Chain A
């Protein structure tokens, strides 16, 4: 982390009323966060790192505090960014720390708990996942643990809101007397004698042994299911089932949400704006022009300005103005605003009635999968195949998330342990993993033809994915570390935490995608409305390339121009073009391989080198246009 990053963070670090929420990964910290704070959470990136944390308001006894959901860490040894951030939060002077412990896995969790005690900050411990623990026959003596740790311990099942009230009561108590065993006070048996990690393990083991008992309990259904998902049989069939369900949710859920939106947009919103603009322009053409004439006639300043601008003759100014409003320009402007590609037409048709439903449906499904702990299981199942492709199974999670949007996925890939792995992930995502906005547009394009077009496209995408991975692993130098991955418990996501995550995701999507989407819409409207698009499409070279090589209508060139800005915009303009089967497939192939959006280049250039971004930029364009054309030429042989 460099200095300029730290300056930005001071704001969060310097807040005086901080309460930190800490714990190992996968112990349910975010559920606590949701239960303790209101609906307004801010997800922030700890600048200079990829580490994101949530910040929310926690009210206790009439006072407001800032609750910070610190990224999950196994220890505070600064070996990764997340741990460094956690340590800095600890050092920034919090009022109290809530340390979430996994009751089903106490020993390992206690290691972090003991480390926290080295800081001079009072801690309230929670024994979470008590239900999982008792399901597995683990009982814990919380009173004894509290004695060992010299701090309050609250038993909780956060997903069911059990123990939250007691936690709040304990927090209030600690906040009001501000006394707890912080740094070594000698009052309790477990105060760290020295800082070596061997010691902390031994102490943790010792405490865990003293306070917990385990009896043999028959594994329950969820645990058995969680384990079964990781066996090739029945794990692979289960995975196919899960994917089938994911596709159903995205394809059919998306389509179902689209129907009323299409009706609303085409039936009400677009006609509404068309009405407004058409009557406005009709008025300008009649009365408005006269008004403009009068205005210019009596206003000296404008008069001189316009006279100098045109040719000095007063008559010609008036004439020009009149023409300007009623003639060519007004029809062009009308076209740009509300024509076939008008801003007020396509911004609603494309963004609201096409992209948003699919984005929402996808996040609905993937957030559920993510929170349930299913994704790491796929990583385990596919580690062997992914290794053959030059990455490890853990990278699959990033690629899944890239199906939503490449940007958070590329940022998130910082957790990859080697440079090659990261570069592989980014390359594969840029070349071969379409984002949901684009998938939605592709589904709309393919779905208009036949049911088998979408699966065929998907198979092509997978094939391309494999080829890209193999090539990338050949050309990118370095090595890839083997998989080391903790597989979390399988669980039913907490509805509130799930909904909040979904809301944050949609908010981020809208925030990140809004400007580029509107920019693409503006470019499209201006190109089409002013006739520039026709002029480009009529260039003999463009025609030769579009119709000769790709076999697409020449107007389709607009999609190649817009596709630079946003991925889905390389498909959206084609929807209205009455393509044939082959044309639609070729267009799909080109779009799939075509470059990712401008924002992704920004991220790649920032995270890697500008050179990397340029290579990906050129590589994607060339491969998309080459292979797209090749598919067209081959298809036309038959």
Chain B
């Protein structure tokens, strides 16, 4: 389970993931969403809504569906 890479949009709520690859978007980088960053999936939204992330246990960032689907992560632990 730990080594499996999945896209962020398909992840489960309340689990913690480490980012493996991320599209080159300046704003993502500025918000600290980089390779190696730990993110917890706080919320997911129906009807193609965003994924709400808790970044490094510090702050919340909402990432729209199409970008979340381009971010690859591996699960670190499930809560």
Contact = CB atoms under 8 A, between A and B. Distances in A.
A227 B52 CA distance: 10
Contacts of A486: 31, 59-61
B32 A108 contact: yes
Given A482-B65, A483-B62, A484-B31, A381 B45 contact: yes
A383 B30 contact: no
Contacts of B66: 482
B15 interface: no
A487 B58 contact: no
B30 A485 contact: no
B56 interface: yes
Given A201-B34, A232-B46, A384-B46, A107 B58 contact: yes
A388 interface: yes
Contact of B25 (A376, A392, A484): A484
B64 A483 contact: yes
Contacts of A108: 31-32, 58-59
Contacts of A74: 27, 30-31
A483 B52 contact: no
Interface in A514-568: none
A224 interface: no
A507 interface: no
A385 B47 contact: yes
B26 A77 contact: yes
Contacts of A484: 25, 27-28, 31, 61-64, 67
Interface in B8-66: 25-32, 34, 42-43, 45-50, 52, 56-66
Nearest to B45: A384
A105 interface: yes
Nearest to A231: B43
A140 B64 CA distance: 33
Size bin of chain B's contact surface: 20 to 34
B30 A380 contact: no
Secondary structure dominating the interface of B: mixed
Query: Which of B26, B42, B57, B59 counts the most chain A CB atoms within 10 A?
Result: B59
A574 interface: no
Contact of B48 (A230, A232, A376, A384): A384
A484 B47 CA distance: 17
Contacts of B52: 230, 380, 487
Interface in A455-501: 481-487
B48 A485 contact: no
A385 B30 CA distance: 27
Contacts of B45: 232, 380-381, 383-384
A227 B57 CA distance: 13
A116 B52 CA distance: 30
Given A231-B43, A384-B47, A482 B63 contact: yes
Given A79-B26, A484-B27, A487-B52, A383 B34 contact: no
Nearest to A79: B26
Nearest to B47: A384
A214 B57 contact: yes
A487 B57 CA distance: 13
B50 to A, nearest CB: 5
Contacts of B25: 484
Contacts of B67: 482-484
A77 B30 CA distance: 10
Interface in A305-355: none
B34 A384 contact: no
Contacts of A227: 42, 60
A568 B15 CA distance: 51
Contacts of B50: 380, 383-384, 393, 482-483, 485
A385 B65 CA distance: 12
A482 B68 CA distance: 9
A455 to B, nearest CB: 26
Contact of A107 (B27, B32, B64): B32
A197 interface: yes
A380 B63 CA distance: 9
A105 B59 contact: yes
B34 to A, nearest CB: 7
B48 A387 contact: yes
A398 B32 CA distance: 25
B49 A485 contact: no
A487 B45 CA distance: 16
Interface string A189-230: 000000001000100000000000010000000000001001
A75 interface: yes
A104 interface: yes
Interface of B: 25-32, 34, 42-43, 45-50, 52, 56-68
12 contacts: A75-B30, A197-B29, A201-B34, A380-B49, A380-B52, A383-B62, A384-B50, A392-B64, A482-B64, A482-B65, A484-B25, A486-B60
Closest 3 CB pairs of A and B: A482-B64, A384-B49, A74-B30
